[in-house]
A and B are shown apart, each in its own frame.
Chain A
Amino acid sequence: GNSVTQMEGPVTLSEEAFLTINCTYTATGYPSLFWYVQYPGEGLQLLLKATKADDKGSNKGFEATYRKETTSFHLEKGSVQVSDSAVYFCALSPSGGSYIPTFGRGTSLIVHP
């Protein structure tokens, strides 16, 4: 079956540090890939997505590139802010069937001033 594996958290950084959260996936065909963010007490918000190999999704300074050869979709940001503290979820939606998304376990990011 499909699966998404994210790096264990929490990730703790100082403000303006570089962020990488690793995500790898297992799926047949060419799934679409997503990053969602969940702030405390809230639902998930789409951060960015990529629907085909080599696509780069970007939003609010965050980027992730769909790497088919390494089945990865790592999230990066050049300079994090305290307001980026949240839980980040990597997810995939398969390219066939009923398109049911599969989510990773989430990675908590804590940014200190």
Chain B
Amino acid sequence: AQSVTQLDSHVSVSEGTPVLLRCNYSSSYSPSLFWYVQHPNKGLQLLLKYTSAATLVKGINGFEAEFKKSETSFHLTKPSAHMSDAAEYFCVVSARTGGSNYKLTFGKGTLLTVNP
């Protein structure tokens, strides 16, 4: 079984300040982990992914995430928020469900608000 917990449903930051969106996962197998972003009325877009290579993963738009196995965490960070970062962010875990099948499990999402 696998699951994802996003610890904050809403995060509000000021423009130019750091962003931290927290995610903890649970998986029976070695997981792959993703962060997706969803802007209003747009499709989900991949920000970054971890697939058992480097534990610090760099993504698009200045975002990065660090895989910490001991803490079962995969928090998303950005040094300086921009107004265009305001969106819903989803942490996702992918793991084998049997045979050659994989399943993606999404967290409930964190709404990021950026204040001017």
User: Does A pair with B?
Assistant: no
Residues of B within 8 A of A (CB): none
